[in-house]
A = this chain, B = another copy of it.
Amino acid sequence: MVAYNEMTKEELESEKERLIIEYKRYQDMNLTLNMARGKPSMEQLDLSMGMLDPITHDEVVDADSGMDVRNYGVLEGLKGAKELLASMVSCDPDSVIVCGNSSLNVMYDQIARGFSFGYLGEKPWAKLDKVKWLCPVPGYDRHFSITEHFGFEMITIPMKEDGPDMDMVEEYVKDPAVKGIWCVPKYSNPEGIVYSEEVVRRFAALKPAAPDFRIFWDNAYAVHYLYDEPDRQDEIPDILEECNKAGNPNLVFEFMSTSKISFSGSGISGVASSPQNKEDIISSMTVQTIGYDKVNQLRHIKFFKDADGIREHMRKHAKILRPKFECVVNTLERELGDLNIGTWVKPNGGYFVTFRTIPNAASRVISLCFGAGVTLTSAGAPFPYHKDPEDSVIRIAPSYPTLPELEKAMEIFTLCVRLASVEILLKK
């Protein structure tokens, strides 16, 4: 087929007519399809039904601490749970604090501590006139919502194919008002990018002007491979160790979660950092909470046992997710491959595929999809303040629908991309 940008006005008009007829056909089907959120499917949740097995009376006393997991105590979490979370990101289990079911909440709390109390004796950010935060884009909407909620000025950093633009990051951290950066280092949300070793090392070697600048390293997809044998290049260095080696031990908070491993609503999460940061966190956490749910920690230890258990479990997730990701990418290739109206990258892991339209088309695509029964993440969501300057990024989340639903949704999606592109090209 001829690329759209090479079509004459007449050809575009006739293509548009054809597309509108097709679009109306889909509208008449009254479909309800959803590719909006990175929610695991029922089939994936069923993989973890063993999490709901009974716990016997013999099991309620934790072997390591001698503590009854049903009672109060053990603020930092069970040793077995620390080991499990640490194994996912290859860090030292002693650096981990095990928290509740939402790693987002752990990140929020950690920002709230900087805001209300300050890190390691530094001035609380609430007392400053301005706090700035670096936001690699496109990124995770819920990260940006947190920094927006606290009133920080968010500065966008473009993502390159091996991570955030580090030249820009190194430049911006010279400003003492810049207090942090959001990172999803492996299979980033939404592009599925894996940070290169060089990017990781440049992060660890940062020399920020602010002593309370922190990297928020949300390693949410550390073990979320789509293919059985991950490429060697998908392994990233342990950021905590790298920071240590670079003489910046307190530079990073690393976050982990089992939300997309066990049950998304009932997983366990954690934060890992240097001994000094950990002590600082615990001194505040001990005021904040009576402790996190240790029975749920026990369930995770019992069900997964160790890193091998997690690896094996993730292979089962991959078996369900892989055909869905391939459906997305193959449909894009088949329907849009030679039309010059969009780009995408096939990720090796994570939860999303990012599609880039021609400029100013994304919100129109999303609204056309909605009109035909397909819900997508709202336009601009992967950007601070929901503003995509190019209006071109669309996050596709293939996990939740069934494969037949997804096939249908992707047909509609590609149709809407074509229709929106034709409309825009005709206006030129």
Instruction: List residues of A whose CB falls within 8 A of some B CB.
Output: 37, 39-40, 42, 45-46, 48-49, 52-57, 60, 68-73, 100-102, 104-105, 108, 112, 115-117, 124, 126-127, 142, 145-146, 149-150, 259, 263-266, 284, 287-296
Known: A54-B52, A116-B115, A290-B104. A45 touches B70 (CB 8 A): yes
A146 surroundings in chain B (CB, below 8 A): 287-288
A263 partner, pick from B42, B52, B53, B295, beta carbons under 8 A: B295
Contact present for B69 and A265 (CB under 8 Å): yes
In the bound assembly, the distance between CA atoms of A274 and B375 in angstroms comes to 33
Residue among A60, A71, A100, A289 facing the most chain B CB atoms (10 A cut-off): A71
Residues in chain B near residue A127, CB distance under 8 A? 126
Q: Given contacts A101-B293, A105-B290, could you give 14 more A-B pairs where the C-beta distance is less than 8 Å?
A: A70-B263, A70-B264, A70-B266, A102-B290, A102-B292, A104-B288, A104-B290, A108-B288, A115-B126, A117-B149, A142-B287, A142-B290, A266-B293, A293-B296
Which residues of chain B have C-beta atoms less than 8 A from A52's C-beta? 54-56, 60, 295
Distance in angstroms between the alpha carbons of A284 and B295 in the assembled complex: 28
A126 / chain B contacts, CB cutoff of 8 Å: 115-116, 124, 126-127
CB-CB nearest in chain B for A294: B265
Q: Which residues of B lie under 8 Å from residue A46 when comparing CB positions?
A: 57
Give complex CA distance A127, B108 in Å: 20
Contact B115 A291 (CB under 8 A): no
Q: Is the CB of A102 within 8 A of B291?
A: yes
CB contacts (< 8 Å) of A69 on chain B: these are 265-266
- Interface contact A68-B54, CB-CB below 8 Å: no
Please classify the interface of chain A as helix (H, G, I), strand (E, B), loop, or mixed, using the class held by over half of its residues. loop
**Assembled-state Cα–Cα distance A72/B37 (Å):** 10
Q: Closest CB of chain B to A72's CB: distance in Å?
A: 5
User: Bound complex: CA of A68 vs CA of B71, how far in Å?
Assistant: 28
A-B contact pairs, 13 of them (CB 8 A): A49-B57, A52-B55, A52-B60, A52-B295, A69-B265, A70-B264, A71-B263, A72-B265, A101-B291, A102-B290, A266-B294, A293-B293, A296-B296
Closest residue on chain B to residue A292 by CB atoms? B101
Contact A54–B53 (Cβ < 8 Å): yes
What residues of chain B lie closer than 8 Å to A100, measured between beta carbons? 100-101, 293
Cα distance, A112 to B113, chains bound together (Å): 10
A101 neighbours in B (Cβ, 8 Å): 100, 290-293
**In the complex, chain B residues whose CB is within 8 Å of the CB of A42:** 68
A259 to B393, CA, bound (A): 46
Q: Give Cα distance in the complex from A104 to B287, angstroms.
A: 9
Task: Select from chain B the residue with minimum beta-carbon distance to A55.
Answer: B52
With the chains together, A42 CA to B69 CA distance in Å?
11
Question: Which one of B48, B71, B295 contacts A40 once the chains associate, using CB atoms below 8 Å?
Answer: B71
Within 8 Å CB of A54, what residues of B? 52-54
A72's nearest neighbour on chain B, judged by CB, is: B264
B72, A289: Cβ atoms closer than 8 Å: no
Nearest Cβ on chain B to A190's Cβ, whole angstroms: 17
- Cβ of A265: which chain B residues have Cβ within 8 Å of it? 69-73, 290-291, 293-295
Closest to A41 in B: B71
Which of B71, B284, B289, B296 contacts A264, CB < 8 Å?
B71
- Bound form: Cα–Cα A284–B269 in Å: 21
Interface centre among A48, A149, A290 (most CB of B within 10 A): A290
Contacts of A150 in B (CB 8 A): 116
